[in-house]
C-alpha cells in the first residue's frame, strides 16, 4: 500500500477520500471518523544484518471504522476456509454481512466474526441489503450459474460487486453483469487472485521485460481428482462446464496475464471416461493450444480426473522460468533456469507469500475509494468466457477457432494493483 501513497496520493488524502466517499453515502460513524490514522508504517529497528533477507515494512491498515464493509454471499468451502479468514489480513476491508441459504450456519459464522444478526440475509431477502449502510461491496461466492443473478441484484441494490471466477456460465450472462453494474454506476471486479499475487507478478515481470529474451512457448497444467458425483461442480446447469471453467481457467487467465496478450486462435480437445458417473454432464479433461500476436504459443491441460497439479513453465530464448505450485492458495514456488558459460543455473527464489484474497479485496476497496477501474474488471472475465467458448467449439468441431484480433496489451485490464 505505501506505493499507493507514493503514487501521488498521501495517506492522509487517501483516508480523507475514504471518509468522504463513505460519509457522503452516510456510512461513517462519528467514532470511526474520530479515529486517528497513521501516516506511514510503524518503523522498527532491523533485527538482522544487512546481508539478511529484508522482511519488508509492517502492515499499514486503515482503522476499522474507515474500512469498506463487505457482504459475503454463499458460505461454502471457499468463503468459510479462505475468504472470511482473509479479512484478518485485509488492510482496507472488513466483513459486515453474510448471505446464505442456511440461516443457522450463517448466524454461527456471524457470531464467530462479529457480524450483527441484522446483517445476516437469505437469498430471498438479499435485495434488502440496499438498506444496510455497513455494506459497500458484495463478494459473490456461489455456484457459477448464480453469479449473474446475484451480481445484477447486488448492483441494483446499489453495491459494488466482487465476483468469483468463472465470471458466469455464458457470454450473455457476462454482458448482463457488466451492463447492470454500469447502469447502477458500481464497480465490477472478477476475483482473479493470481493477478494480485507477488510470485505470479514477478513471473509476469520476467515475461514483459524479456529478461531471458522473447518468450516462445508457455505450458500450463491445472487439475485435480474430483470426488462426489452429486456435487454442483459436476452439474452442467450449475457449473456451466467441467474442468475447463473451474480449474482450467487458471491456465487460460494466467497465460493471458503473463503475456498481456490475447489469443488469435485456439485449438481444443476434450475427453471424459465413459461410464464414470462424475462426467455424465460435464467434461473430465481438456487440452488446448493458443497462438498469440507476438508469436507466443501456449499448451494447456486441465482435468477433474488426475491427481492435483498446479503449475506452469515459460520457455524463453535464453532461459526458462515458472512456478510449481503456481495456482495454489499458498506455498507458491518460482523456478528459473539459465546458462552462464559452462554453468546451468537453477534458482528457486523465495519471494514470500501474501494472502491472495486479502490482496484482491484490498485492490477492490482501493478502486472503490479512488473511483478507479479494477485491474480485473468484468471485461476481463468476459474475455475468458469468449475464449472458453471458442475452446469448446474447437474441441467439438476438431478445427482451430479464430478469435477477434486484439493487438494492444492488457486490453481488458484496469488500474495496476499497488501491492505485491
Ligand atoms: P461450495 O460448493 O463449497 O460452496 C457453494 C455455496 O453455495 C454453498 O454454501 C452452497 O450451499 C451454496 N449454494 C447456493 N445455491 C446452491 C445450489 N443451487 N447448489 C449448490 N450449492 C448452492 O463451492 P466453493 O468451492 O465455495 O465455490 C464457490 C465459487 O467460488 C465458485 O464459483 C468457484 O468457482 C469459486 N472458487 C474460486 C476459488 C478461487 O481460488 N478463487 C476457489 C474455489 C472456488
Q: Which of 73, 55, 203 is nearest to 142 (CA)?
A: 73
Give the pLDDT confidence score for residue 30 in this predicted structure: 37
Q: pLDDT tens, 96-113?
A: 999 999 999 999 999 999
Q: Note if 250 is an active site residue.
A: yes
Mean pLDDT of all residues belonging to the chain: 92
3-44+59-193 under CATH 3.40.50.720, yes or no = yes
Query: What's the average model confidence in pLDDT over 298-311?
Result: 98
Give the pLDDT confidence score for residue 8 in this predicted structure: 45
How many other CB atoms are found less than 10 A from the CB of residue 393? 14
| Range in 53-67, 116-130, 306-320, 337-351 with the lowest mean pLDDT | 53-67
73 CA to middle of ligand 1, Å? 10
143 CA to middle of ligand 1, Å? 4
Q: Which grid cell is 268?
A: 481444443
pLDDT at residue 282 tops 70:
yes
Q: Is the CB of 101 under 6 A from ligand 1?
A: yes
Report the C-alpha gap between 87 and 161 in whole angstroms: 17
Q: pLDDT tens, 140-162?
A: 999 999 999 999 999 999 999 99
Q: Note if 236 is an active site residue.
A: no
Cross-strand pairs, 38: none
Query: What's the average model confidence in pLDDT over 164-182?
Result: 98
Q: For the residues of 30-92, what is the DSSP string, one character each?
A: HHHHHS---SSPPP----S-TTSPP--PPP-PPPGGGSEEEEEE--SHHIIIIIHHHGGG-SS
pLDDT band at 392 (very low <50, low <70, confident <90, very high): very high
pLDDT band at 36 (very low <50, low <70, confident <90, very high): low
Give the pLDDT confidence score for residue 73 in this predicted structure: 99
Report the C-alpha gap between 147 and 169 in whole angstroms: 8
- Higher-pLDDT residue of 17 and 255 is 255
Place of cell 505485491: 420
Domain 198-351+378-402 fold is Dihydrodipicolinate Reductase; domain 2 (3.30.360)
Distances from the Cα of 127 to the Cαs of 22, 124, 154, in angstroms? 20, 7, 7
Q: Report the residue among 164, 194, 363 best suited for mutation to probe ligand 1: largest number of ligand atoms under 8 A from its CB.
A: 164
| Range in 47-51, 183-187, 194-198, 382-386 with the lowest mean pLDDT | 47-51
Give the pLDDT confidence score for residue 357 in this predicted structure: 98
- Terminal-to-terminal C-alpha distance of the chain: 9
pLDDT at residue 355 tops 70:
yes
| Range in 40-49, 143-152, 331-340, 371-380 with the lowest mean pLDDT | 40-49
Place of cell 480437445: 269
Q: Is the CB of 144 under 6 A from ligand 1?
A: yes
- Parallel, antiparallel, or unpaired for β 265-271 and 334-340? unpaired
Residues of the chain with CATH 3.30.360.10: 198-351+378-402
Nearest ligand 1 atom to alpha carbon 191? 41
Give the pLDDT confidence score for residue 56 in this predicted structure: 84
Number of residues that make up the chain: 420
Q: Report the residue among 141, 192, 244 best suited for mutation to probe ligand 1: largest number of ligand atoms under 8 A from its CB.
A: 141
142 CA to middle of ligand 1, Å? 4
pLDDT at residue 195 tops 60:
yes
Q: Nearest C-alpha to atom 9 of ligand 1 is from which residue?
A: 76
386 — phi, psi (to 5°)? -60, -45
Report the C-alpha gap between 30 and 191 in whole angstroms: 32
Q: For the residues of 186-234, what is the DSSP string, one character each?
A: --EEE--GGGG-HHHHHHHHHHHHTTTSSEEEEEEEEE-----TTSGGG
76 CA to middle of ligand 1, Å? 5
Give the pLDDT confidence score for residue 46 in this predicted structure: 87
**49 CB contacts (<8 Å, ≥6 apart)?**
none
The region that residue 388 occupies, defined by phi over 0 for left and psi between -120 and 50 for alpha, beta otherwise, is alpha
Q: Is the CB of 165 under 6 A from ligand 1?
A: yes
134 CA to middle of ligand 1, Å? 24
Residues of the chain with CATH 3.40.50.720: 3-44+59-193
Give the pLDDT confidence score for residue 418 in this predicted structure: 86
Q: Which grid cell is 330?
A: 499458498
239 CA to middle of ligand 1, Å? 10
Torsional sign, CA 150, 364, 110, 25? negative
Give the pLDDT confidence score for residue 74 in this predicted structure: 98
Name the CA radius of gyration of the chain, rounded: 22
pLDDT at residue 39 tops 80:
no
Give the pLDDT confidence score for residue 14 in this predicted structure: 63
Report the C-alpha gap between 332 and 326 in whole angstroms: 6
pLDDT band at 12 (very low <50, low <70, confident <90, very high): low
pLDDT at residue 51 tops 80:
yes
Query: What's the average model confidence in pLDDT over 293-318?
Result: 98
Q: Is the CB of 190 under 6 A from ligand 1?
A: no
3-state helix, strand, coil in the chain (%, to 5): 40, 20, 40
Q: Is the CB of 77 under 6 A from ligand 1?
A: yes
Cross-strand pairs, 163: 140, 190
Query: What's the average model confidence in pLDDT over 27-33?
Result: 39
346 — phi, psi (to 5°)? -120, 120
Q: Report the residue among 104, 108, 142 best suited for mutation to probe ligand 1: largest number of ligand atoms under 8 A from its CB.
A: 142
Give the pLDDT confidence score for residue 352 in this predicted structure: 86
Does pTM surpass 0.85? yes
pLDDT band at 42 (very low <50, low <70, confident <90, very high): confident
Nearest ligand 1 atom to alpha carbon 75? 9
Q: pLDDT tens, 342-351?
A: 999 999 999 9
Give the pLDDT confidence score for residue 40 in this predicted structure: 81
Q: Active-site residue among 192, 196, 250, 312?
A: 250
Numbers of helices and strands, H then E, in the chain: 14, 15
Place of cell 491456465: 251
Amino acid at each position: 500500500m505505501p506505493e499507493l501513497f507514493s503514487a501521488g496520493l498521501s495517506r492522509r488524502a487517501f483516508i480523507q477520500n475514504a471518509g468522504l466517499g463513505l460519509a457522503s453515502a452516510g456510512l461513517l460513524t462519528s467514532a470511526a471518523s474520530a479515529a486517528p490514522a497513521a501516516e506511514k508504517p510503524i518503523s522498527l529497528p532491523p533485527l538482522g544484518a544487512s546481508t539478511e533477507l529484508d522482511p519488508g515494512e509492517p502492515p499499514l491498515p486503515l482503522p476499522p471504522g474507515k474500512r469498506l464493509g463487505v457482504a459475503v454471499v454463499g458460505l461454502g468451502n471457499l468463503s468459510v476456509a479462505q475468504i472470511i479468514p482473509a479479512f484478518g489480513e485485509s488492510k482496507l476491508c472488513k466483513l459486515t454481512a453474510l448471505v446464505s441459504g442456511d440461516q443457522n450456519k450463517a448466524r454461527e459464522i456471524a457470531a464467530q466474526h462479529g457480524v450483527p444478526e441484522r446483517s445476516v440475509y437469505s437469498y430471498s431477502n438479499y435485495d434488502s441489503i440496499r438498506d444496510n449502510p455497513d455494506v459497500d461491496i458484495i463478494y459473490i461466492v456461489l455456484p457459477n450459474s448464480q453469479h449473474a443473478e446475484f451480481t445484477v441484484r447486488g448492483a441494483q441494490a446499489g453495491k459494488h460487486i466482487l465476483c468469483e471466477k468463472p465470471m458466469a456460465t455464458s457470454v450473455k450472462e457476462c454482458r448482463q453483469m457488466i451492463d447492470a453494474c454500469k447502469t447502477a454506476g458500481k464497480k465490477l471486479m472478477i476475483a482473479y487472485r493470481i493477478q494480485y499475487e507477488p510470485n505470479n507478478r514477478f513471473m509476469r515481470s520476467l515475461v514483459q521485460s524479456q529478461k531471458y529474451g522473447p518468450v516462445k512457448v508457455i505450458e500450463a497444467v491445472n487439475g485435480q481428482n474430483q470426488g462426489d458425483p452429486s456435487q454442483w461442480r459436476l452439474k452442467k446447469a450449475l457449473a456451466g462446464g467441467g474442468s475447463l471453467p473451474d480449474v482450467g481457467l487458471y491456465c487460460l487467465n494466467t497465460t493471458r496475464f503473463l503475456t498481456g496478450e490475447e489469443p488469435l486462435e485456439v485449438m481444443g480437445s476434450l475427453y471424459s471416461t465413459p461410464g464414470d458417473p462424475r462426467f455424465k454432464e460435464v467434461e473430465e479433461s481438456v487440452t488446448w493450444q493458443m497462438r498469440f500476436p507476438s508469436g507466443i504459443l501456449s499448451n494447456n491441460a486441465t482435468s477433474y480426473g488426475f491427481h492435483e497439479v498446479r503449475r506452469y513453465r515459460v520457455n524463453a530464448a535464453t532461459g526458462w522460468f515458472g512456478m510449481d505450485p503456481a495456482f495454489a492458495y499458498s506455498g507458491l514456488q518460482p523456478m528459473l533456469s539459465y546458462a552462464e558459460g559452462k554453468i546451468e543455473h537453477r534458482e528457486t527464489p523465495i519471494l514470500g507469500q501474501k494472502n491472495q484474497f486479502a490482496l484482491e479485496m484490498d485492490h477492490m476497496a482501493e478502486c472503490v475509494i479512488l473511483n478507479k477501474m479494477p485491474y480485473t474488471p468484468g471485461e476481463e472475465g468476459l474475455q475468458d468466457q469468449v475464449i472458453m467458448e471458442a475452446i469448446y467449439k474447437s474441441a467439438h468441431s476438431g478445427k482451430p477457432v479464430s478469435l477477434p484480433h486484439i493487438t494492444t496489451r492488457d486490453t481488458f485490464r484496469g488500474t495496476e494493483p499497488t501491492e505485491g
